[in-house]
Amino acid sequence: MKSKVQKSKKSASAGRSSAAKANPILRDVSRHLMNTYRRSDMIFTHGRGCYVFDQTGKKYLDFLGGIAVNALGYSYPDLVKTIRREAGRAVHVSNLFHNPFQGPLAAKLAKWSGMDRVFFTNSGSEAVEGALKLARVAAKKSGGAGKTRILALENSFHGRTFGALSITHTLKYREPFEPLVPGVEFVGFNDVADLEAKFTGDVCAIVIEPLQGEGGIFPVSEAFWTRARELATEHGAALIADEIQCGLGRTGREFAYQRLPGMPDIVVVAKPLGGGLPLGAFMASEKFAAAFSPGLHGSTFGGGPLVCATGLVFLDVVERKHLLANVRTRGAELRAGLKRLATKFDFIREVRGEGLMLGVDLTVEGAPYVAEALKQGLLINCTHEHILRLLPPFILTAQQVKEGLNILESVFANTERPAALQATPSTTVAAQALAAAR
């Protein structure tokens, strides 16, 4: 037994870089954190506005924003002030009691979204779980015990917990954890005929990201959304919009579904809502929300005073500083600049997205460009191996758009061209559906 433990420690240490061996923080990471993330050796210590700094003091322009979380960048003064104030009052009181901020934040979210009622969670996945539970219980009450099937889309991402994972399409995330929640079926992305074939009377919910994020920045088509809305109404099922990545201003609208006709029944949000603190929510129209009664759902931490006060400030700043307009303007500039780069570099297949949620689809592997960008002081990431993803803060300036584009141009010019990628089945399907929808 002892020799087995020693052996596994040895093989783990063999994989560590020399920087990790020398730095006590990275040594602790490699010995004691579960092995779930592939990360470079830098340690980010602080940030200001759209820039973040590592332990050596090197500055990076952040076009990733903590994966769509830091919509107001780093250490935004109003957020800092509120977090300081409320940390000195009450961080937590539990949901056995009211706090001063949960109701007002729910009211503001209802106004933004057109929904009626809100439930607060601590993450996106947890909000997805709650939305699925609400849709199930509402459908069972109205349509009987058998109304339990859930439809999701190919190329989707909804989170890592069992329910959210069950409606996430990517096989490599799902397969190791099977069996997952039963009763889930995937519909071809933007494939209206497939939707019509699978949307039967026993469906309780269809879950759609109006603009797919992790899947590679693919917009759901108006024809698909419209038909999903009609079928959900016809069968008394919930149309659930997962707006965790694309919502709360990211596309230059309050919600990405506002690009499309018809309202969802349930909306799921998280990422930027807590100004960097963990806060998510699912919201519903009265018709669906009415299916919940005390005891059917709950959370110890969800919607505490500190996070809700911060959430209120986030939404207030977006309104007061006209950040939706800024997202649209900066997004258009960034998109135009990326399109210019696409005419210069033949390995850029397509530039997609809306507002400050943009994807640069490459015909080659994206990871070397992400690594070179990091070297040159720009944070971006890559999804599905070949789609560079940009999710900068809403406070981005015109000067920072130029700065980011200049770095990207230099990155594209100075990175040795990686091997062409084999198309993955999911992105091929999505790309075909996208092409068909145009």
Report DSSP letters for 126-153, one per residue: HHHHHHHHHHHHHHHHHH-TT--EEEEE
Q: Report the amino acid identity of residue 327.
A: V
Residue among 244, 323, 374, 431 that touches ligand PMP (CB under 6 A): 244
**Dihedral sign for Cα atoms in the order 189, 190, 195, 197:** negative
* Residue (53 or 173) nearer to ligand PMP, CB: 173
Residue among 82, 102, 113, 123 that touches ligand PMP (CB under 6 A): 123
At its nearest, how many Å lie between ligand PMP and the CB of residue 167? 10
CA 400 to chain centre: 23
Site membership for ligand PMP, residue 213 (CB under 6 A): yes
Residue among 70, 99, 125, 310 that touches ligand PMP (CB under 6 A): 125
Contact (Cβ atoms closer than 8 angstroms) between residue 404 and residue 422 = no
Pick from 300, 302, 307: nearest CA to 87 = 307
Q: What does the per-residue mask of binding to ligand PMP show for 133-172, with x meaning CB under 6 A?
A: ------------------------xxx-------------
Residue 351 Ramachandran class (φ > 0 left, ψ -120 to 50 alpha, else beta): beta
Site membership for ligand PMP, residue 360 (CB under 6 A): no
**Helix (H) / strand (E) containing 48:** strand 44-48
**CB under 6 A: which stretch of 3-11, 79-87, 242-250, 291-299 binds ligand PMP?**
242-250
* Residue (207 or 289) nearer to ligand PMP, CB: 207
Range list of H helices, 208-304: 222-235, 286-289
Residue among 49, 73, 124, 331 that touches ligand PMP (CB under 6 A): 124
CB atoms within 10 A of CB 431: 19
Instruction: Report how many residues bind ligand PMP under the rule CB under 6 A.
Output: 14
The tokens describing 252, both together, are 């230059």
Site membership for ligand PMP, residue 276 (CB under 6 A): no
Site membership for ligand PMP, residue 279 (CB under 6 A): no
Length of the chain measured in residues: 438
CA 133/CA 351 separation, integer angstroms: 36
First-to-last C-alpha distance (Å) of the chain = 60
Three-state secondary-structure class, residue 115:
coil
* Residue (52 or 244) nearer to ligand PMP, CB: 244
At its nearest, how many Å lie between ligand PMP and the CB of residue 31? 25
CA 113/CA 317 separation, integer angstroms: 17
Residue among 132, 153, 270, 283 that touches ligand PMP (CB under 6 A): 270
At its nearest, how many Å lie between ligand PMP and the CB of residue 217? 11
Q: What does the per-residue mask of binding to ligand PMP show for 83-102, with x meaning CB under 6 A?
A: --------------------
At its nearest, how many Å lie between ligand PMP and the CB of residue 341? 25
Residue among 86, 214, 265, 350 that touches ligand PMP (CB under 6 A): 214
CA 242/CA 131 separation, integer angstroms: 9
Residue among 154, 209, 254, 350 that touches ligand PMP (CB under 6 A): 209
* Residue (184 or 411) nearer to ligand PMP, CB: 184
From residue 152, alpha-carbon distances to 207, 222, 281 in Å are 5, 17, 19
Q: Report the amino acid identity of residue 402.
A: K
Pick from 273, 346, 362, 301: nearest CA to 72 = 273
Contacts of 322 (CB under 8 A, 6+ apart): none
Contact (Cβ atoms closer than 8 angstroms) between residue 299 and residue 120 = yes
At its nearest, how many Å lie between ligand PMP and the CB of residue 243? 8
* Residue (128 or 405) nearer to ligand PMP, CB: 128
Site membership for ligand PMP, residue 245 (CB under 6 A): yes
At its nearest, how many Å lie between ligand PMP and the CB of residue 256? 10
Binding to ligand PMP in span 401-430, by CB under 6 A: none
* Residue (120 or 347) nearer to ligand PMP, CB: 120
Pick from 285, 118, 153: nearest CA to 228 = 153
**CB under 6 A: which stretch of 15-23, 172-180, 239-247, 299-307 binds ligand PMP?**
239-247
**CB under 6 A: which stretch of 106-114, 241-249, 360-368, 411-419 binds ligand PMP?**
241-249
Applying CB under 6 A, which residues contact ligand PMP?
123-125, 128, 157-159, 209, 213-214, 242, 244-245, 270
